[in-house]
């Protein structure tokens, strides 16, 4: 986790920096916005920027956008400075951290940005076989494709491969291809030269060069535009890149690991993914089974998360009761490890008594976890059938386009405007979702921004 602190290191900001370092962050400091931009251009990248609320946050955000640098920004300042906090969020900061700093709040923000805080915990034979294969090929230079459903731990396994490789002492750089808009991703990966486009005031080093000597993880690579895939293929084959606007190839020495929650062979048939690139990436395929097929891992992970969140929240450690453990093992876990982690965190907060009982194992809406069709009572099945029939009748007389539009926008509301989460729930690519939203916006519809829902008339 690489953290860039922007502002004078005095008082509470110094304390925040010490906390971040104690939580495992590698911290770089910049006195000014200009210095921060120079740092980010130079190849000393950051996973998160923390800026003093008194600094020109709008100038930093504008500079990042103009130079196509994709990095989340959080502001920090005294808790009494409410106006400055509001202005920071309006300027584009993703979060506001009140000072004096709270260690657990900083830890939570760092953990939300950096997935490397997650541990690789394996007890189930099916997952153990995948890890053995990962360790067997870790020392090679072969490209690796890690596949599996969303939330199964693909990035965690990729980091494990890096730690077991000969490149372990070098950088591990992760790029989420689904989270970065198409027009920014090329510059993010390959960098750019001064004058390459309006706003490119200086050379910028991209992720390929940042990762030189180490490993570059291309997360959710199926979301990469086909035109950019051609440039990626050349980089993998020839070990050189071309910065945007550059005329001289730049040699790079990296190992590529890619992840996908989609079937790339299907994407090849659909024309959205290059077949030659798939062959280059898929030298070794590490296919992670879904959590519902790893019952031993469910139990071990649940114990781990129970200890972790008891400590984080300053609560007593409680064992998971036998009934609660059976409930966890029998749940379908469509969100996999990520969903299990959230469920246990919630259970730690809701539990009372000496154990985490079954009454604390709840969905976000407070209901019991689903157990699939086989575990339902006849009454529940009848209610579900009646609901399904009512929904079907409500669709009659409407066009497919109308139903699709309502489903997409309702799902986006459910995800508070988060495009990536909505696309995963809908089972479509982030590119397809963005195209649909652009279409709806052009038709005059209200499209929620990230963190928002549609306004209700």
CA 436/CA 428 separation, integer angstroms: 11
CA 361/CA 344 separation, integer angstroms: 7
Per-residue pLDDT, 387: 56
Do 68 and 202 contact (CB within 8 A), yes or no? Answer: no
Structural domains for the chain: 2-116 (3.40.50.2300), 125-287 (3.40.50.300), 292-373 (1.10.8.60), 391-442 (1.10.10.60)
Residues 6 or more apart whose CB falls under 8 angstroms from that of 383 comprise: none
127 C-beta neighbours (distance < 10 Å), count: 22
Return the closest-CA partner of residue 268 out of 286, 254, 280.
Answer: 280
CA 228/CA 207 separation, integer angstroms: 14
Helices and strands (H and E) in the chain: how many: 19, 12
CA 457/CA 454 separation, integer angstroms: 9
Taking each helix axis as running N to C, give the angle between helix 419-426 and helix 400-414, from 0 to 180 degrees, rounded to the nearest 10.
130
The predicted model gives 206-222 an average pLDDT of 95
Question: Would you say residue 372 has pLDDT above 60?
Answer: no
- CA angle centred on 42, ends 85 and 247, rounded to 5°: 130
Residue with tokens 């998360």: 305
CA 308/CA 320 separation, integer angstroms: 13
What is the sign of the dihedral through the CA atoms of 388, 393, 398 and 400?
Answer: positive
Residues 6 or more apart whose CB falls under 8 angstroms from that of 284 comprise: 133, 137, 142, 143, 144, 145
- Token pair listed for 276: 């030659």
Task: Give residue-wise pLDDT tens across range 83-119.
Answer: 888 888 888 888 888 877 666 667 666 666 654 445 6
Q: What is each CA distance from 114 to 177, 237, 309, 385, in whole angstroms?
A: 15, 29, 17, 42
pTM, entire model: 0.70
Task: Give residue-wise pLDDT tens across range 8-56.
Answer: 867 777 777 777 787 777 888 899 999 999 999 887 778 889 898 888 9
**132-141, Cβ contacts within 8 angstroms, sequence gap of 24 or more:** 133/284, 133/286, 134/160, 134/161, 134/164, 134/286, 135/160, 135/161, 135/164, 137/161, 137/284, 138/162, 138/164, 138/165, 139/164, 139/165, 139/166, 141/255
Q: Is 442 exposed, middle or buried (0-12, 13-18, 19+ CB in 10 A)?
A: exposed
The whole-angstrom distance between residue 330's C-alpha and the CA centroid of its chain comes to 27
Q: Which of 157-166, 317-326, 391-400, 439-448 has the lowest mean pLDDT?
A: 391-400
224: DSSP letter:
S
Per-residue pLDDT, 207: 94
Per-residue pLDDT, 385: 58
Q: What is the DSSP string of 440-451?
A: HHHTT---PPTT
- Supply the mean pLDDT for the chain: 86
pLDDT band at 159 (very low <50, low <70, confident <90, very high): very high
Q: What is the DSSP string of 243-269?
A: -BT--S-EE---EEEEEESS-HHHHHH
């Amino acid at each position: 986790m690489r953290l860039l602190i922007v502002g004078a290191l005095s008082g509470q900001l110094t304390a925040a920096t010490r906390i971040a370092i104690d939580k495992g962050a590698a911290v770089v400091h910049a006195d000014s916005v200009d210095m921060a931009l120079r740092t980010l251009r130079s190849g000393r990248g950051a996973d998160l920027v923390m800026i003093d609320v008194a600094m020109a946050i709008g100038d930093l955000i504008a500079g990042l956008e103009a130079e196509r640098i994709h990095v989340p920004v959080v502001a920090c300042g005294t808790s009494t400075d409410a106006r400055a906090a509001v202005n920071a969020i309006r300027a584009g900061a993703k979060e506001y951290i009140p000072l004096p700093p709270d260690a657990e709040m900083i830890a939570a923000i760092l953990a939300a940005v950096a997935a490397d805080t997650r541990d690789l915990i394996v007890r189930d034979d099916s997952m153990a076989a995948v890890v053995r294969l990962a360790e067997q090929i870790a020392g090679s230079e072969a490209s690796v494709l890690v596949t599996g459903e969303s939330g199964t731990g693909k990035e965690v396994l990729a980091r494990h491969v890096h730690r077991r490789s000969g490149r372990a002492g070098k950088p591990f750089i992760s790029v989420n291809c689904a989270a970065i808009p198409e027009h920014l991703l090329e510059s993010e990966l390959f960098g750019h030269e001064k004058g390459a486009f309006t706003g490119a005031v200086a050379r910028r080093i991209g992720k390929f060069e940042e990762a030189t000597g180490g490993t570059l993880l291309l997360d959710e690579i199926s979301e990469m535009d086909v035109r950019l895939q051609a440039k990626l293929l050349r980089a993998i084959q020839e070990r050189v890149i071309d910065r945007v606007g550059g005329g001289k190839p730049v040699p790079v020495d990296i190992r590529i690991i890619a992840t996908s929650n989609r079937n790339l062979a299907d994407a090849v048939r659909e024309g959205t993914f290059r077949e030659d690139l798939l062959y280059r990436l898929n030298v070794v395929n590490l296919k992670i089974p879904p959590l519902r097929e790893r019952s031993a891992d469910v139990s071990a992970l649940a114990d781990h998360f129970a200890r972790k969140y008891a400590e984080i929240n300053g609560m007593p450690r409680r064992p998971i009761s036998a009934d609660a453990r059976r409930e966890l093992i029998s749940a379908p876990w469509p969100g996999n490890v990520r969903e299990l982690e959230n469920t246990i965190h919630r259970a730690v907060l809701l539990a009372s008594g000496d154990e985490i009982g079954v009454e604390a194992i709840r969905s976000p809406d407070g209901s019991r976890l689903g157990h699939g069709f086989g575990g339902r009572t006849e009454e529940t099945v009848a209610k579900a059938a009646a609901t399904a029939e009512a929904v079907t009748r409500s669709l009659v007389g409407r066009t497919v386009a109308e139903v699709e539009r309502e489903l997409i926008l309702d799902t986006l509301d459910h995800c508070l405007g988060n495009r990536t989460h909505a696309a995963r729930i809908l089972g479509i690519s982030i590119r397809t979702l963005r195209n649909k939203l652009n279409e709806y916006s052009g038709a005059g519809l209200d499209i929620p921004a990230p963190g928002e829902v549609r306004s209700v008339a």
